[in-house]
Each structure stands twice: as C-alpha cells, then as structure tokens.
Structure 1
C-alpha cells in the first residue's frame, strides 16, 4: 500500500466563488505588465498589500514593477495549483518573495512536517519555472496572542524546518517576526487585531524589515 501524499502537497483550487476569478484577473494583470521584476506570492497577508498595505506598496514596490500574487485563505496546495496554472509563466522576475503556510496550521492544523513539505514543493516548482529568479522565503508570521498558544507553536515548528531550505545562492530565508512581537513574545491588538493579520500600520514595518534584503537581491537578480 502506497503512502498517501499529505493535502499540503496536492495542488487544488480553493472552493470559493471569488478565487478562480481572481486567478484569471492575476493572469491578465501579469500579461498586461511591460515587465515583472518582483513578485510577492502567498496568502491573505500578501493579498493585503492591495488594501491595508496599499500606500506602502505604492512607495516600495510599484516603482519596481511588482506583481502581487497573494490570495486570501491560501494553503500550500492552493499556491501549487496556481503555479501549475500559469501564474508565473512567461515572466522572469529578478526576485520572488514567498510567505505561506499559516492557513495550513490554522484551517486544518497540518503537521509542521507536512506544511514544510508543501513549502519545499513550492520552492521546487519555482526553481523549475523561474530558474533565474532569486527566492526570498519569509518565516511564517507569528499568530495567536501568546507564544505558548498552539498555533504559534505550530508555525514556529514549520519555521524551524523551512529555514534549512535556504542555500544563500538562489533561496534566501529571513525571519522578521520580532517586528510584530513585544518583549515577552506577545502580539498586541494594535499590531494584529485578530492576532493573525498585520494591521495597516504594520505594513510599513514589514516593508522596512525586508528592504535591505530586497535591495541586495534585486541587485543580484
């Protein structure tokens, strides 16, 4: 009997009415761009660059020919489906920023090993489709108010695995999670109202925390 692949590794679309239309819109947006130098790929935290983080995006990323491929609620298998259906085809960005995995924990409480395998598979597909592109893998952001809570621990366990995926040649790993935490490792409501999604005020801090890495990797790319 063959071992069944975890759900995190099985490409699948989300079963929501807006999701496939957004995928089609993103294909059209990508195809309409003169060039794509920078891509952000992920879930709702990435999609929110279009709303909560929109002003910061205009300053930091719009001038860099950036494309936002964040989809609310996406788990690793949803990102794998999108990659298999054209979202990075026919472009050659210098850098792609990947942040995904928190919904594997929160929606389904996937084992850390399974979420990490899903992220590893995304990196593998990206290496195949975008062989010249640098990949910046971000640690999954902290969630839940206290560091002792189950979903915070689960995300931390994933991060302990995925940090090993960096080779510092094509794949780079950065953990900026301290930006969102107080001295005792807690998340406060003025940082994340729901203890999961950064508030609008945090997108400036997010951008500033990765800026030096983005600058150096875009220069190399």
Structure 2
C-alpha cells in the first residue's frame, strides 16, 4: 500500500459531536428511537475521507435512487473489464462529472455539452489504449467515490491486472460543497490509498482543474461557515475557488513526491490545468464555457496532455525514467 501524508480533517469531528448529541436524546432501546436515529443520521455531515453513498446531506432526495442506478451501470461496466490480450496497457478514467463527460453523459443521462466526447475519447486515448473504461458520476465527492469503489466498481479482473492505469480526478465537488482544502486533500488521498490496496494499477493522480464559478464559491463559503462556525475556516479567499484548488494541488503533488521518494513507482502526479488558464490566472471561457467543465475543444487539448502523462507514468513504472 502506498505510504502517503494525509492532513487532518474537521468535518468528521463535527459528525462525531452530532452523533454524541444523538445518543443523549434518542432512546435507542425503543423502535421509535431507532427510527428517529436512522432519520437523524441521514443529515449528519459526510466526511471527505470516509466512504459514504449519496445521502440527503449531499444530494436531493429524489436524485439518490438515480445515483444508485448510475452506480449500478458503472459496476456492470467494471465487470466487463478484461486485461489487454497483448502487452499493452488499459486505462480507467475515474472521478466525477469531468471524467463522466467522456461517456457523453452526466448522472448517466445524455448531455448536450458532452456530444462528441465518446468519439473523441475513442480516437485519442482509445487509439493508444483500446477500450478505455470510464467510471465516473457527476457531482460526486471523494467519499462517494470511495463507496463506489468499495461496492463493485473495481472488479476482480481489474484487481489482478498489473497493466491497468487508473487516472483519477476527484475533489472539486468537495470544495464546492464547503469542505476545506485540507479536508478535500484527505479525501483524495484516501481514494489513492484504496486504489493502491485494491489493485496493482499504476495510479495517475490528476490535479484539480481550475474553476471560476464564483456563484458556487459563495455558496461553498456559506456551507463552510455552517460547518465550522465562523468565516475563517480556511485561509483562502472565499469568493474564488482558485486559492483552494492551488492549495489542494500542492498537497497532492507533495504526497506524490513522498511516495516516489519511498521508491514506490505506482503513483504519479499529472497537472494539465494550465491548458484552461488564460491571462491573469483567469479560466479560459473559450475552453470552459461554464468555468468548470471543458468543452469539446478543451477535452481535445486535455486528451493530448493526458496521453503524455500516462506515457510518463508507464515508463516510470517500468523504471525507464
């Protein structure tokens, strides 16, 4: 298993506190008390580094069944995975809506902004590593991906394949939900730990992409204030995600360097975010019209960058760079 530095978290402390409060006023011995306890737990905060399916805390109640159906689709796709018949590698693109866009969907529903992306994937990365597997669900956070991987999205064939390259991009939705940069980093690194335990894969840990959706940033600030009790829950400018994105990426890079220093040639850091930044560190609206998701032109540039990063990781795993 990879040895990674993991910063502490704070939302889980609040979750423990709320659980303690629950224990003080719910008579667990009664049926009514157990029903109340079950209802109360639904609204306890999720922690970025602890596996959790979608709950009413992170999704509208009506969307939760759809999320489970989408997970079932991913699980079935994982079950069809077979190692390449020759000496080549296979890739799995794992994460949230940005990765799911490669499927042409969001939440497993066809999306207009994703038109053309499955063909682009086939003709770009798929031309080097046939049949790329995309395991991603829109809006997912690190704790949701942990749950998905633990519940079938890593098949037995994937576990045994030493020529699997797992490209991981996750965490931006944690920031959007109000997690601090340190909490988000802890969640991402826990996903890396899980992948390293469950598989023999080479892991390409991708930096969070830049984002400039300021309205979501203000909403995330309000969530942080509710979670931490004040407006100074982290050191970053709350009107922009970019300081937090840079902070997370720096910690992920440091964790990767630490892993390589221990001569564990399984984890590699990739950062193609510069492709989407225009002058003065502003997100390039020509490539990210909604300031969060690349368009087809952005994905085309990203595919070329990803190809180089995957090549570097494979060469590194083979001890050739």
- 1:35 is displaced (CA, Å) by 3.0
Q: Which runs of 5+ in 1 are unaligned?
A: none
Q: Tell me, which stretches of 5 or more residues in structure 2 are unaligned?
A: 1-11, 17-45, 56-62, 85-89, 105-113, 215-236
- Return the alpha-carbon distance in structure 2 between the equivalents of residues 33 and 136 of structure 1: 19
Q: 1:175-206 deviations in whole A, cap 9, x for unaligned?
A: 11110011321113221111111112111101
Give the equivalent residue in structure 2 for 1:26: 74
Counterpart position of 2:196: 127
The answer to whether the 8 Å contact 1:73/1:103 transfers is yes
Q: Out of 123, 127, 151, which is 2:241 matched to?
A: 151
Q: Is the 8 A contact 2:142 2:187 kept in 1?
A: yes
Quote the Cα distance in structure 2 between the aligned partners of 1:102 and 1:216.
25
In structure 1, C-alpha distance between the alignment counterparts of 2:283 and 2:309, rounded to whole Å: 25
- Give the counterpart of 1:85 among 151, 169, 194: 151
Distance apart, 1:145 and its partner CA:
6.5
C-alpha distance in 2 between matches for 1:218 and 1:122:
20
Could you tell me which of 176, 181, 199 is aligned with 1:112?
181
- Give the alignment's Cα RMSD to 1 decimal: 2.1
Larger Rg: 2
Determine which of 162, 176, 181 is the counterpart of 2:252.
162
Question: 1:62: which partner in 2?
Answer: 126
Distance 2:170 2:47 in 1: 15
Cα distance in structure 2, aligned partners of 1:218 and 1:197: 27
My pick for the range that moved more, 88-97 or 31-40, is 31-40
TM-score, with structure 1 as normaliser:
0.89
Give the corresponding residue for 1:140.
208
Aligned partner of residue 161 in structure 1, secondary structure: helix
- Report the Cα distance in structure 1 between the residues aligned to 2:314 and 2:74, rounded to whole angstroms: 22
Corresponding residue SS for 1:110: coil
Paired residues of 2:181 and 2:248 also in contact (CA < 8 A): yes
How many aligned positions are there?
A: 217
Counterparts of 2:142 and 2:126, CA distance in 1: 26
The separation in 1 between residues aligned to 2:125 and 2:71, in whole angstroms, is 21
Greater share of helix residues, 1 or 2?
A: 2
Decide which of 278, 295, 303 is 1:182's aligned counterpart.
Answer: 278
Q: Deviations over 1:125-151 (max 9, x none)?
A: 111001x211000110000069x7521
Calculate the TM-score normalised by the size of structure 2: 0.63
